[in-house]
Amino acid sequence: DIIAYAKERHIEIIPEIDMPGHAEAALHSYPELGCFNRPVEIPKLGFTPNIFCAGKENTLQFLKNVLDEICTLFPSPYIHLGGDEAPKDNWNKCPDCQKRIADLGLKNSHDLQLWFSAQMAEYLKSKGKKLSFGEMWFIMTAIRCPTTS
């Protein structure tokens, strides 16, 4: 068991679950979690605009279920959620994402990602976990990172 091995050596494993980007493998198997309900190709390198759909409640619930599993498996108080490398091309064309943007009074898909990240941050906070993100996304967009502290 890698977690026990690390603990014996005073090493803390901080899991990273990238969201909303780097979702191609999940969307290949569960296309209903994406914007257009169709399986996507898994790239050999890099990332694509195929990210989790922030406009669908079932996608948010799926990701919360994943986080529940991660919280159970990893004793670390920290979980890293990536957040960078999430092109918004599909969100800009997705009726569900555009409806969420309108319903919440957001300006654009960048605001939608901030809202999405805040939802995940609040969920992890309710589980007693602290969150970290790929801060490059927040630096590049000049948006304040959601916090769990």
Q: Over the stretch 42-71, which tens digit does the pLDDT of each residue have? A: 888 888 999 999 999 999 999 999 999 999
Element (H, E) at 63: helix 57-73
Single-letter amino acid code for the residue at 51: I
Sign of CA dihedral 57, 28, 106, 118: positive
Q: Over the stretch 100-143, which tens digit does the pLDDT of each residue have? A: 999 999 999 999 998 998 899 899 999 999 887 765 545 444 44
Question: What pLDDT, on the 0 to 100 scale, is given for residue 135?
Answer: 58
Token pair recorded at residue 63: 């990701």
Q: Say if strands 130-132 and 78-80 run parallel, antiparallel, or are unpaired.
A: parallel
pTM score, whole prediction: 0.87
Question: What pLDDT, on the 0 to 100 scale, is given for residue 51?
Answer: 96
Residue spans of alpha helices (H) in 9-133: 24-29, 57-73, 89-93, 95-104, 109-126
